[in-house]
């Protein structure tokens, strides 16, 4: 699985969009990009995943660059409950072992 790099922490104002970047410059053609988050000490929670195309679901949008070397997770209207550590993970399939890095600690400010 390709290594991913994320900023250690970010702040976002409540109600504004939170844009969380992830670098995965060594990703191979059939590796997916998955995003999970962990709120406090709870179990990680799946957010979204993608291969090449941009994706959107009820939680977030995922923008993947054309060269697939980086991606951005967008929370369109961040709330205080979105304060969490966000993990960007690249893998061939979500069924295999997920390798969690240190992630980005997002603090949503009131």
Partner 1 sequence: EPEVTQTPSHQVTQMGQEVILRCVPISNHLYFYWYRQILGQKVEFLVSFYNNEISEKSEIFDDQFSVERPDGSNFTLKIRSTKLEDSAMYFCASSDPDRDGDEQFFGPGTRLTVL
d(CA 64, CA 61): 10
Contact present, 87 and 44 (Cβ < 8 Å): yes
Q: Which residue among 29, 43, 66, 110 contacts partner 1 (CB under 8 A)?
A: 43
Stretch that binds partner 1, among 10-18, 20-28, 41-49, 67-75 (CB under 8 A): 41-49
Stretch that binds partner 1, among 8-16, 21-29, 76-84, 100-108 (CB under 8 A): 100-108
CB nearer to partner 1: give 26 or 102. Answer: 102
β-pair type (70-75, 18-23): antiparallel
Nearest to 87 by CA among 43, 30, 28: 43
Judged by the rule CB under 8 A, the positions of this chain that interact with partner 1 are 34, 38, 41-46, 49, 87, 93-102
């Amino acid at each position: 699985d390709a290594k991913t790099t994320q900023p250690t922490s970010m702040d976002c104002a409540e109600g504004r969009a939170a844009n969380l970047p992830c670098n995965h410059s060594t990703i191979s053609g059939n590796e997916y990009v998955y995003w999970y988050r962990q709120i406090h000490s709870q179990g990680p929670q799946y957010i979204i995943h993608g291969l090449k195309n941009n994706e959107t679901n009820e939680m977030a949008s995922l923008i993947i660059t054309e060269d697939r070397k980086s991606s951005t997770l967008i929370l369109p209207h961040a709330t205080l409950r979105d304060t969490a550590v966000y993990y960007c993970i690249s893998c061939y399939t979500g069924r295999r072992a997920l390798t969690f890095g240190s992630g980005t600690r997002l603090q949503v400010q009131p």
